[in-house]
Amino acid sequence: MMRTAALLIISLWVAVADADTTLRIGNGGEPETLDPQRAAGVSTGNILRDLDEGLTAIGPGGDALPAAAERWEVDADGLRWIFHLRDGARWSNGDAVTADDFVAGLRRTVDPATGSGYARMLDVIANAGAVASGRLAAVQLGVEALDARTLQIRLALPAPYLPGLLSHPSTFPVHRPSLREYGRDFARPGRLVSNGAYRLVEWSVQSRVVLERNRYYWNNAETAIDTVVYYPTEDLNSELKRYRADELEISSAIPTAQAPWIRAHLGPELHVANYLGSYYYGYNLTQPPFRAAPALRRALSMAVDREIITAKLLHGIVQPAYGWIPPGVADYTPQQPDWATWPRERRLAEARRLYAESGYSPARPLQVEIRYNTQDDNKRIAVVIAAMWKQALGAEVRLVNEEWKVFLQNRRLKRVTQVFRSSWIGDYDDASAFAEILRSTHGRNDSGYVSARYDGLLDEAAREADAGRRRASLEAAERLMLDEAPILPIYYYASKHLVKPRVLGWQDNILDYHYSKDLRLAAAPGTTR
């Protein structure tokens, strides 16, 4: 009797396991909130793109495709955009998704009272800057519902990248009745109403976020995966083990040090692709020794052998960077200084000449400090760069590591920094997402780079409706910046996921956006150990 019952339970369990289409994803950090307008992190964005749907979505190849909006048009001057919402788009409680929901979401992001980290990302929208700085009320933002299914967005400047920008979670609609009822605590299980392919079922902090298909989603018939579980996986080594134990179908990343082993044993499951991010060192241009010393900055940049860093330290997972804006950015050609193509010997000779020209010599070596936030890879890179500067130029380098928040404060204050570790990940697929960071007035311009010519070229690009001329201005700005060398690019980031062979439909793209609704699971689970 007992045996029969046990057999029955086991066979039932096996049957359920077979029929189950559950996708288990390692997601890196724990989401800080599921409120699209207050969210900030990469891991949060992954979940939000499953829960909610913007006017556009990023296609598997990286292009902006119709999503909640089925089509859009733009005036000749590029300043007035009309988005037509899909008929039959519904929230997860059955309510219709309207243009007003999008207006409410956009206003909420820009309104300083919301505390959104992305308020200034929407500066291209008419009046956005004034609203974000509190000079105008949020209702004066240049977005308007012409009727329930038509949304008009007026821009202050032409922005050909607007459709891509509108796939960002901060531009997602907000379910206004929920916001009214629960205030900013609406993004919790049991309360959160979403308009994407999935709805929130469970959120156990530090444990998992469980989503189930939203049967009101307009394209629900095409959704293949019923349940998606996101696990926080801060420890990449543990994540790798869970992946190998078949507890995850997709990993958030891989531990760099394990790359050779992974290539050898899980090769076809490793997906490495260009990612919209750069790792670089900044020079503090407001203090000696780097104030008014472009030759010295160039010399140090030339003396760094990036190939050694990417090939030996980072196991060839990432690409060496000589420019700032990563390869693969839409409608942009990566820029680099002329010397990037020189042989190493010629580079070093020029670096030594510039170093001497800046007034340094073996008798009077440069004494400089590299400051970085405490982390293994940061440390290894700093040690190698210090050795390269010592060997090539005779510079005496001191390494200072600091806890993250202490480091951030010092970097921002620009008082004690000389050379500092930095990185930037673009929020949307356009060169301006990077170029603007080095504008003299930008909050993240930690180098204190002030160049009227650079700012002027960015202004020119921003005013330009013609794609070719806009691109030329942005490329000229980057070339100018690289020549003046306020930063030292080191490598371009790569997305690096492990994906089980049974996951179908996965395509690498520069934004590293992967919507669960576009994925499928093959019937027979493959096993890898």
Partner 1 sequence: MLAYSLRRLATAVPTLWLLVTLSFFMMRAAPGGPFDGERQLPAEIELALQAEYHLDEPLWQQYGRYLGELAQGDLGPSFQYSGFRVSELIAAGAPVSLLLGLLALLLAMLAGIALGTYAALRRGRLADRAVMLFAMLGLSVPAYVTAPLLILVFAVALGWLPAGGWGGGGPAVAVLPVLALAAPQVAAIARLTRGALIEALAAPYIRTARAKGLPERRVVLRHALRPALLPVLSYLGPAAAGLITGSVVIEQVFGIPGLGRYFVQGALNRDYTLVLGVVLFYGAIVVLFNFIVDLLYGALDPRVRLAT
List interacting residues with partner 1 (CB under 8 A). Answer: 30, 32-33, 35, 38, 40, 112-117, 119-120, 132-134, 184-185, 187-188, 202, 204-208, 231-235, 237-238, 241-242, 244-247, 403-406, 408-410, 412, 423-425, 443-444, 529
Q: Residues with Cβ < 8 Å from 326, sequence gap 6 or more?
A: 274, 275, 276, 277, 278, 334, 426, 434, 492, 493, 510
Least distance CB 235 / partner 1 (angstroms): 5
Least distance CB 464 / partner 1 (angstroms): 25
Residue with Cβ nearer partner 1 (123 or 518): 123
Residue with Cβ nearer partner 1 (88 or 112): 112
Residue with Cβ nearer partner 1 (73 or 403): 403
Least distance CB 317 / partner 1 (angstroms): 21
Least distance CB 252 / partner 1 (angstroms): 12
Token duo for residue 123: 């500066």
**ω into 289 cis (within 30 of 0):** yes
Least distance CB 360 / partner 1 (angstroms): 32
DSSP 69-98: EEEEEE-TTS-EEEEEEPTT-B-TTSPBP-
The residue type of 258 is Q
Residue with Cβ nearer partner 1 (30 or 464): 30
459, burial (CB in 10 Å: exposed 0-12, middle 13-18, buried 19+):
middle
Residue with Cβ nearer partner 1 (118 or 355): 118
Distances (CA, A) of 148 to 53, 98, 214, 472: 17, 5, 22, 39
Residue with Cβ nearer partner 1 (208 or 390): 208
Residue with Cβ nearer partner 1 (26 or 196): 26
Q: Report the SS3 class of residue 118.
A: coil
Least distance CB 279 / partner 1 (angstroms): 12
The residue type of 402 is E
Least distance CB 36 / partner 1 (angstroms): 12
Token duo for residue 493: 């980031």
| In contact, 108 and 37? CB cutoff 8 Å | yes
CB atoms within 10 A of CB 289: 18
Residue with Cβ nearer partner 1 (72 or 424): 424
Helices (H), 281-423: 294-303, 306-308, 344-357, 376-393, 404-413
Own/partner long-range contacts of 334-340 (Cβ < 8 Å, ≥24 apart): 335/475, 335/478, 335/479, 335/482, 336/482, 337/298, 337/301, 337/482, 337/483, 339/302
Least distance CB 81 / partner 1 (angstroms): 25
Q: Report the SS3 class of residue 453.
A: helix
| In contact, 33 and 39? CB cutoff 8 Å | yes
Least distance CB 427 / partner 1 (angstroms): 9
Residue with Cβ nearer partner 1 (199 or 421): 421
